[in-house]
Amino acid sequence: MDKKHKKCCSVYKALRVIKLQQIQLEGCQGECCCSSLLTKIVKSDTIPFMLATPKGTFSVEAEQKKDHEPFSTAFFRLEGLKPESCQAIISLLKPLTIDDEIAEDLEDLYRLERTAIKIKVDLCKFCAIKCLDIKLLAKKKVIIEPKC
């Protein structure tokens, strides 16, 4: 097995585990009754992650149709895997600060918001994956009411 294929294979294996865990969080039908309880406890069906290339963290520039606000993100949700081509379909997660502005860096990140934007990526271009805390998706907007 050459070095490129081995790298692709390890990222693919990690994403396959994430996909199985997301299926459990979504509340699978059938014999596994604990998955619906798990979804209620965790309050999310997404395991957010970041991808790394040999040059650094992978990020994507995007714009949502609903608000036309451009943003850059390095945070993703796995939507599907294509084992025959070693590709993945991922959706972009919008990084937000506590003030609900676009988070420019990791220090400002308060929560992640799912988007409908999906892209296909070649997993052979990545050398590492980092899972993030699921709580980033469960956090709600902070509403600060003025004091009278």
Residue type for 41, please?
A: I
CB-based contact 87:120 (threshold 8 Å): yes
From 82-96, 99-113, 133-147, the region with the lowest mean pLDDT: 133-147
Give the chain's mean pLDDT.
82
pLDDT given at position 1: 41
pLDDT given at position 8: 61
Question: Quick one: DSSP state of residue 15?
Answer: H
Average pLDDT score over residue span 138-146: 69
Average pLDDT score over residue span 20-24: 83
Average pLDDT score over residue span 120-139: 88
